[in-house]
Amino acid sequence: MYGEPAGCCGPVDTKAPISVTINPEARVNVARTAARVEPVAPGHWHPIDLTIVNDGYVTGQLVIESDPVPGVELDLPPHDLTGEPRQEGAIRVRFDSPAVVDVTLNFRALGALGGLANHSAMHLLLRSQ
């Protein structure tokens, strides 16, 4: 149920639109939450928050990658994992002009290949108007 503590497979209680869970083997599971990503104005950087739940107390870097998307700039900084059970982070997006795009984000911890069954990747539908 939403709002319960995160466990193996439960949802993450967060106001961020993206939740990332890292298990003790540094496998990454990323998911959309109920929080909306509001439309953005072209020409301005817009942050998109993410919550990182580190069930494995993993330290190192969480890397976020995406293929280029025409007309969109993505700022995907690596996030330093401190080993704390929960951290907040963000990515940023900027549109050249009004558009709707589907961005595929891939998350990796410690340079690992990611999670199982593509749980380390997500599609994010973004809109600029």
Tell me: pLDDT of 86 over 80: yes
pLDDT digits (tens, 9 = 90+) for 27-79: 899 999 999 998 899 999 999 999 999 998 999 999 999 999 999 999 999 99
Asked if residue 61 belongs to a domain, the reply is yes
Q: If you count DSSP H runs as helices and E runs as strands, how many of each does the chain have, helices first?
A: 0, 9
Q: Is residue 46 part of a domain?
A: yes
pTM attached to this predicted model: 0.83
Within the chain, what is the greatest distance between any pair of CA atoms? 42
CA angle 84, 88, 93 (to 5 degrees): 145
CATH number of 74's domain: 2.60.40.10
User: pLDDT tens, 96-113?
Assistant: 999 999 999 999 987 654
Number of domains in the chain: 1
Residue 21 is predicted with a pLDDT of 94
